[in-house]
């Protein structure tokens, strides 16, 4: 067979992941904060992009200007008629006041001298600082001051402990050891440094480090400088003068307390059931993490991406939260102005064309992202209508395929949209992933049940049980089967353990102890 060269024309289709397409996919799964940071970076490097103001977006207008205008109109606006009325009122008031003072022989001007005297500042320099602040009396800029400037700064755990060192330790060596131990504390106030290692590092003896540590363990907040949970609780009990031998035995066997093995604890501590209940109540009053109250981290509020409201026709109104939508515009006027001055420069023209292309792509991607979130959220609301009306007991089993088939999209797209997105409903704030739960079959060949609704039923039944009628896992299975839920015993046990609910034996023992302590 002879070899020969030939030329063939073939047509085929393939999906190419361009960088812009990859970024469009990444925009879907970005949170509100991540998207804001990404857009800020794009605006910084693209001169054709700019943030849209609230006035351009139609969100609102300057309220202060409207209030000022209305107040000016109510005051008469400086018209002659208004001025005439003001003069008449002032003259009438002045003459009637003088006549009343003469008839009653009383001069009210001298009764409250502090009120009628000119306003004087006890500290003129503070008054000057106040007037110089934005928005304060005497300022002309009209901007309001920030009330956060007047809030006292919260001290950290380290600062609180350092302030107590000079009052408890006198020698420089002891203070150096204390400074080193303070630096070894974690956020909860626990000490993870070894005594021997610390002594070798500082050139001190282990006795000196131990002595300083015992002094530091008496600092405020109670329980700091503990090396484990048992020592933390023991320090707090010692400061309360409640660390007796029985309590020491209880603190040393916290693993039995975690398992609720009250029978073993009574034998180890040598107390009866009533005394053990009192000791447990004393333990509950202690703080297992004394340093967490000094955390300075700012709690970030969750901004919902979708808001669901009741519609007048009985349905649901689904809309995107305007606070979570980025507002960015393409400045076409600036592009046209710059293009006229750079016609002869090919490099500048190429740069402007690339900036315009990226800006248009970003705006289209943001619009497509908003439309996709709206489609997915609307379909979730349609599928979970019974949950919005009746509560978690009527939450339907749902998966990504059902939503993807309904809105004609791929499951991966729905998964990206629902990750780290939140929906504000009349039932509360929920993550979009919350509405996707596993299906549990029905015992009567009816509709399947959601795993979340079944967990809610188990939690409700256990919370309503009494000490004499504690439900076992088999009892819960029987009750659920009577309600039409086909569930296995091991599934009930798995759900119960996931919700940190102890077994029926442990719950019965604890409930009886609490009931006996209460006198029932």
What is the distance between the alpha carbons of residues 334 and 352, in angstroms, rounded to a whole number? 11
Q: Of 327, 442, 387, 352, nearest to 36 (Cα)?
A: 327
Q: Range with the lowest mean pLDDT among 73-77, 320-324, 334-338? A: 73-77
Domain count across the chain: 3
What single DSSP character describes residue 398? -
Do 328 and 267 lie in a common domain? Answer: no
185: β partners: 191
Q: Does residue 423 register a pLDDT over 90? A: yes
317: β partners: 309
Q: Does residue 291 register a pLDDT over 80? A: yes
Lookup result for tokens 């006041």: 97
What single DSSP character describes residue 325? S
pTM over 0.75, yes/no: no
Q: Confirm if 403 and 414 have CB atoms less than 8 A apart.
A: yes
In this structure, is residue 383 part of a structural domain?
yes
472: left (phi over 0), alpha (psi -120 to 50) or beta: beta
In this structure, is residue 361 part of a structural domain?
yes
Q: Does residue 503 register a pLDDT over 70? A: yes
User: Which of 31-40, 75-84, 153-162, 375-384 is most confident?
Assistant: 375-384
pLDDT digits 0-9 by tens, 116-133: 444 444 445 545 554 555
Q: Confirm if 27 and 365 have CB atoms less than 8 A apart.
A: yes
Q: Which of 262, 294, 326 is the last residue of a domain?
A: 294
Lookup result for tokens 């001051």: 145
What is the distance between the alpha carbons of residues 444 and 87, in angstroms, rounded to a whole number? 87
Query: Both ends of the chain: CA-CA distance in Å?
Result: 103
Q: Which of 382, 404, 437 is the last residue of a domain?
A: 437
What is the distance between the alpha carbons of residues 491 and 500, in angstroms, rounded to a whole number? 14
Do 369 and 488 lie in a common domain? Answer: no
In this structure, is residue 349 part of a structural domain?
yes
What is the distance between the alpha carbons of residues 394 and 397, in angstroms, rounded to a whole number? 10
190: left (phi over 0), alpha (psi -120 to 50) or beta: beta
In this structure, is residue 470 part of a structural domain?
yes
User: CB under 8 Å to 388, separation ≥6 — which residues?
Assistant: 308, 316, 381, 425, 426, 427
In this structure, is residue 49 part of a structural domain?
no
Q: Does residue 85 register a pLDDT over 50? A: no
Q: Confirm if 410 and 404 have CB atoms less than 8 A apart.
A: yes
pLDDT digits 0-9 by tens, 345-355: 678 888 888 88
Q: Confirm if 388 and 308 have CB atoms less than 8 A apart.
A: yes
Q: Which of 294, 318, 350 is the last residue of a domain?
A: 294
Which structural domain, as residue segments, surrounds residue 175?
157-294
Do 232 and 315 lie in a common domain? Answer: no
Do 279 and 321 lie in a common domain? Answer: no
DSSP calls for 181-226:
HHHTB-TTSBB---HHHHHHHHT--HHHHHHHHHHHTTSSSTTTTB
- SS3 string of 346-368? HHHHHHHHHHHHHHHHHHHHHHH
Quick one: average pLDDT of 231-238? 93
């Amino acid at each position: 067979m002879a070899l020969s060269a030939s030329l063939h024309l073939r047509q085929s289709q393939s999906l190419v992941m361009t960088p812009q397409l990859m970024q469009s996919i990444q925009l879907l799964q970005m949170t509100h904060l991540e998207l804001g940071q990404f857009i800020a970076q794009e605006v910084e490097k693209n001169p054709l992009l700019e943030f849209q103001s609230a006035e351009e977006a139609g969100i609102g207008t300057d309220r202060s200007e409207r209030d000022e205008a209305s107040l000016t109109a109510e005051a008469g606006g400086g018209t002659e008629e208004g001025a005439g009325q003001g003069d008449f009122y002032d003259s009438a008031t002045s003459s009637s006041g003088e006549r009343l003072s003469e008839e009653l022989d009383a001069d009210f001007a001298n009764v409250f001298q502090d009120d009628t005297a000119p306003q004087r500042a006890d500290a003129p320099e503070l008054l000057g600082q106040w007037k110089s602040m934005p928005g304060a009396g005497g300022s002309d800029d009209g901007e309001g001051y920030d009330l956060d400037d007047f809030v006292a700064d919260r001290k950290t755990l380290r600062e609180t402990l350092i302030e107590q060192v000079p009052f408890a330790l006198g020698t420089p060596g002891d203070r150096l050891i204390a400074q080193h131990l303070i630096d070894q504390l974690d956020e909860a106030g626990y000490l993870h440094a070894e005594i021997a290692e610390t002594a070798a590092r500082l050139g001190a003896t282990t006795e000196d480090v131990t002595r300083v540590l015992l002094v530091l363990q008496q600092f405020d907040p109670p329980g700091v400088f503990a090396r484990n949970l048992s020592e933390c609780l023991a320090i707090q009990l010692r400061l309360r003068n409640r660390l007796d031998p029985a309590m020491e035995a209880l603190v040393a066997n916290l693993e039995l307390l975690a398992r609720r093995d009250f029978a073993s604890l009574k034998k180890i501590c040598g107390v009866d059931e009533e005394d053990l209940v009192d000791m447990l109540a004393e333990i509950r009053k202690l703080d297992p993490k004394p340093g967490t109250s000094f955390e300075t981290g700012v709690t970030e509020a969750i901004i919902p991406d979708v808001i669901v409201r009741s519609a007048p026709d009985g349905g649901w109104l689904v809309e995107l939260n305007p606070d979570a939508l980025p507002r960015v515009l393409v400045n076409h006027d600036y592009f046209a102005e710059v293009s006229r001055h750079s016609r002869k420069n090919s490099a500048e023209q190429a740069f402007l064309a690339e900036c315009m292309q990226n800006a248009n792509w970003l705006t289209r991607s943001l619009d497509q992202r908003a439309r996709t979130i709206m489609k997915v959220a609307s379909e979730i609301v349609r599928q979970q209508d019974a949950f919005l009306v009746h509560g978690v007991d009527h939450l339907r089993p749902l998966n990504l395929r059902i939503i993807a088939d309904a809105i004609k999209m791929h499951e991966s797209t729905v998964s990206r949209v629902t990750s780290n997105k939140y929906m504000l409903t009349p039932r509360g704030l929920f993550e979009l992933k919350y509405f996707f739960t596993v299906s549990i079959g029905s015992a009567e060949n009816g509709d399947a049940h959601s795993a979340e609704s079944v967990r809610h039923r188990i939690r409700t039944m256990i919370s309503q049980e009494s000490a004499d009628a504690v439900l076992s896992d088999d009892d819960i299975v029987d009750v659920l089967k009577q309600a039409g839920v086909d569930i296995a015993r091991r599934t009930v046990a798995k759900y119960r353990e996931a919700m940190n609910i102890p077994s029926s034996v442990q719950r019965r023992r604890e409930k009886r102890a609490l009931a006996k302590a209460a006198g029932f």
